[in-house]
Amino acid sequence: MELTIGAVVRGGTSLEYKTGSWRDQRPVLDSEKCKVCGQCESVCPDSAVHVVEETYIIDYDYCKGCGLCAYECPADAITMIREEK
């Protein structure tokens, strides 16, 4: 890897590190139950829930499986499932 003067790096480069590998459980969203309220996107510390055309998807590349989205979802639309290895 190339070193810069003073170790200054471009912002946003953390996207190259996929924290999804940290997971031992994954959230699964039931779009039937989803009320499209945005809570899951709002409470994800890893910005791993995204709005896509009026619904939400989970970015498993980065989701660490903390479970906050499932816990906070007012419609109980997200379930945490053990990650299979």
Partner 1 sequence: MSVVKVLEGSEAVALAVKACRPQVISAYPISPQTHIVEGIARFVADGDLDAEYVRVDSEFSAASVISGASAAGSRAYTASSSQGLLLMSEVLYASCGMRLPFVITGVNRTVSAPISIQVDQQDTMSLRDCGMIQLFVESSQEAYDVHIAAFKIAEDPKILLPVMVCMDGWVLTHSYERITLSEQGDVDRFLPPFQPADFLDVKNPKTWGSIGEEDMVMEFRYSVQQAMQYAKGRITEIFAEWAEISGRNYGGLIESYKTDDAEVILLAMGSMAGTMKDAVDNLRSGGDRVGLVKIRSYRPFPYEEIWDAVKGAKAVAVVDANLSLGSEGAIGMDLKAKLYGAPNAPMVVDVIAGLGGRDVNESRIKKIVEKVKEAQASGYFLREPYWAGLNPTIVP
Partner 2 sequence: MTAKKDAQQEDLFVSGHRACHGCGMALSVRHILKATGEDVIVVTPTGCLETFTSPYGYSPWRVPWIHHLFENGPSIATGVAAALRAQKRDTTRVVGIGGDGSTFDIGFGALSGMLERGDDVLYICVDNGAYMNTGGQRSGATPLYAATTTHPAGKKSVGKVEMKKNIPMIVAAHGIPYVATASVAYVKDLQKKVRRAMEFRGPRYIQVDTPCPSVWGFPSDHTLEVGRMGVQSGLNPLFEMENGEIIHVRKIKKQVPVEEYLKMQKRFRHLFGATEGVQEIAQIQALADANIKKFGLLGKQKE
Binding site for partner 1 (CB under 8 A): 1, 3, 5-13
Binding status of residue 65 toward partner 2 by CB under 8 A: yes
- Tell me the two tokens of residue 80: 């945490």
d(CA 70, CA 80) in angstroms, rounded, equals: 7
Which residues in 23-42 contact partner 2 (CB under 8 A)? 36-39, 41-42
Binding status of residue 83 toward partner 2 by CB under 8 A: no
d(CA 13, CA 68) in angstroms, rounded, equals: 25
Choice between 12 and 45, CB closer to partner 1: 12
